[in-house]
Copies of this chain bind each other. A is one copy, B any other.
Amino acid sequence: MASVHSQRTGEELPSRQPLYVQVRDQIVTSIEAGEWHAGDMLPSEFELADRFRVSQGTVRKGLDLLEAEGVLRRRQGLGTFVAEADDGWGRAELPGIGHPLDADLELLSCSRGHAGDTAAAALGLRRGAAITVVRRLARVAGEPFALIDSCVSSERFDGLDARRIKQADCNLRRIWLRQFGLRVVSDSPLYRAGLAGREEARLLGVGLDAPLLEVLRTASGMDGRPVEWTTVWCRTDLYGYRP
């Protein structure tokens, strides 16, 4: 990797990235291309250094980035592994110091629509652009906990439908990665409190006007551009929400 241009097809990227960032990007690209799947062990740092024509320390710095982003997991004496794509909707947790609880995801709907002002701004689309809205329900111990609406550009994720989502166990990030070759990372969310409307109350099993936690978040691809806009409506009478 003596030079960016010698290995890239000729696109761009902000002029000149440090080598360790290029290493990071190359590894993400390889994962997105299907060279390594979730659970696979990556070549050793020295092998990667050889492959990318950089020193082992530079490879390590790139791997450090990816571990911090949750893309890789490393264990001393064992190796570096590709992490399972986390759906990233959040987690339920008991307020008194406890571990995150397991939740089951259920697909409620997958429908087409047009971007309103908020969604368009969040996704960098023009107002009225075609979007696909995926509505899911998260259950904890069988009880409804969160209603999750995710919006993506219909153009970018062409062919996204209920069948595919169910096949992927309702894990959207897994679909982005395996079907569309795109690994995303969640941005920092914005939080609000609101009251349950008719629809939310029915789906979450709470009374009308019950207090609900609203979590607003975008997720961006490796290039930093937002590709997913998610709103979570969360009842927190039993559990708290941990990002």
Q: Give me the interface of A with B, judged by CB distance under 8 Å.
A: 93, 95-97, 117-118, 121-122, 188, 190-195, 211-216, 234-236, 240-243
Contact = CB atoms under 8 A, between A and B. Distances in A.
A65 B197 CA distance: 45
Nearest to A238: B192
A154 B117 CA distance: 50
Task: Give the interface SS of chain A, mostly helix, strand, loop or mixed.
Answer: strand
B213 A240 contact: no
Contacts of A195: 211
Nearest to A209: B209
A193 B211 contact: yes
Given A95-B190, A191-B215, A192-B240, 12 more contacts: A93-B190, A96-B121, A97-B121, A191-B213, A191-B241, A191-B242, A192-B236, A192-B241, A193-B213, A193-B214, A193-B234, A194-B211
